[in-house]
Amino acid sequence: MAEPKELALRYPQSCPFCSIAAAYRYAAAASPSPAAKQPQRQDETRAGQDMTAAAAAASNSLLASIPSSPSAIDPAKVSPAAYVVLSAPRVLAFLDIMPMTRGHLLVTTRRHRRKVEELVGGGGSIKGEDGDENGEEGEGECKGEVGDDEDEDEEGEEGRDIGFWLPLLAKTVATVIGVPDYNIVQNNGIRAAQVVPHVHFHIIPRPASLPALQNKSWTMFGRGAREDLDDDEAAALAARMRDALRVEVEALARRKGRRGRGRL
């Protein structure tokens, strides 16, 4: 693991992830088409069309979480540079600036949560719509410490959104890097090797050049050399990950659409 002093030189802010969240806001998708808003008709053909339109609207909402415009992906908006792959209402993903291996990705919350126990969990569905629920109102700002009754996500969607995006991002990393094995690690507290005090998950590819860890479950994921991220390579790598993530989201939307039509 990198030494705390070494990280402090690169992350001088009190919370660098809050700075990234503030700089890379969620861009809400366009409003659903009138067809998507229409109530389902009795006619099965019309109902199928309405469901397809609704699935398309949901897909567009999720795709809006994957930044594409030059301003939305500009790495120079923060210092050190950030190479953003996901900018969702409650979740962000960007390349680690001191990767253990190529493709080392961080997945974090927009709101400032120090440990995973502070995540607001619960059920529901990702809405990604305009208004208070999409996280546009101040969620990019560092809120500092979270008390028992303040800064709550009443819908309980923060933890669920992490659970939604993490598998998609893991598959994205594996696809782009071409390495099927990876670690997903989340540290809580300084004794547990957490350096940045903002809850985050590491997705770390394990290429064939690294030793296999079977029968060595005690081995810590973070032992090994970490090098500075190369800016040119990082920009190209983040772009490939965004493209691959779009493919995963579109495929997910198609699967959900087919299952929905099968229930008619």
For every residue of 7-67, DSSP letters joined together read HHHH--SS-HHHHHHHHS---PPPPPPHHHHSPPPSSHHHHHHHHHHHHHHHHHHHHTTS-
Tell me: cis bond preceding 80? Omega within 30 of 0 counts: yes
Comparing 44 with 241, which gets the higher pLDDT?
Answer: 241
Residue-level pLDDT at 157:
85
**pLDDT, tens only, 153-195:** 555 689 999 999 999 999 999 999 999 999 999 999 999 989 8
* DSSP conformational letter for 93: E
Give yes or no for a contact between 102 and 237, defined as CB atoms under 8 angstroms apart.
yes
- Dig out the tokens for 2 from the structure: 């990198």
Q: Active-site residue 200, yes or no?
A: yes
Helix (H) or strand (E) holding 204: strand 200-205
Give yes or no for a contact between 119 and 139, defined as CB atoms under 8 angstroms apart.
no
What is this structure's pTM? 0.74
For residues 185 and 231, what is the distance between their CA atoms, to the nearest angstrom?
24
Comparing 142 with 97, which gets the higher pLDDT?
Answer: 97
Residue-level pLDDT at 224:
52
- How much is the mean pLDDT over the chain? 76
* Cβ-based neighbours of 189, under 8 Å, separated by 6 or more: 115
* DSSP conformational letter for 192: G
Residue-level pLDDT at 169:
98
Residue-level pLDDT at 208:
86
pLDDT at 33 over 50: no
Q: Where are the domains of the chain?
A: 4-211+219-262
Q: Which residue has the tokens 């009138």?
A: 34
Confidence of residue 28 (pLDDT cuts 50, 70, 90): confident
Residue-level pLDDT at 123:
43
Residue-level pLDDT at 229:
86
For every residue of 108-135, DSSP letters joined together read EESS--SSGGGS----------SSGGGT
Tell me which of 104, 112, 198, 200 is the catalytic residue.
Answer: 200
Angle of helix 231-262 relative to helix 157-177, nearest 10 degrees, comes to 120
Residue-level pLDDT at 213:
60
Select from 3.40.50.880, 3.50.50.60, 3.20.20.140, 3.30.428.10 the CATH code of 4-211+219-262.
Answer: 3.30.428.10
- Dig out the tokens for 91 from the structure: 């979740």
Query: Which stretch of 95-104, 116-125, 139-148 has the lowest confidence by average pLDDT?
Result: 139-148
Confidence of residue 81 (pLDDT cuts 50, 70, 90): very high
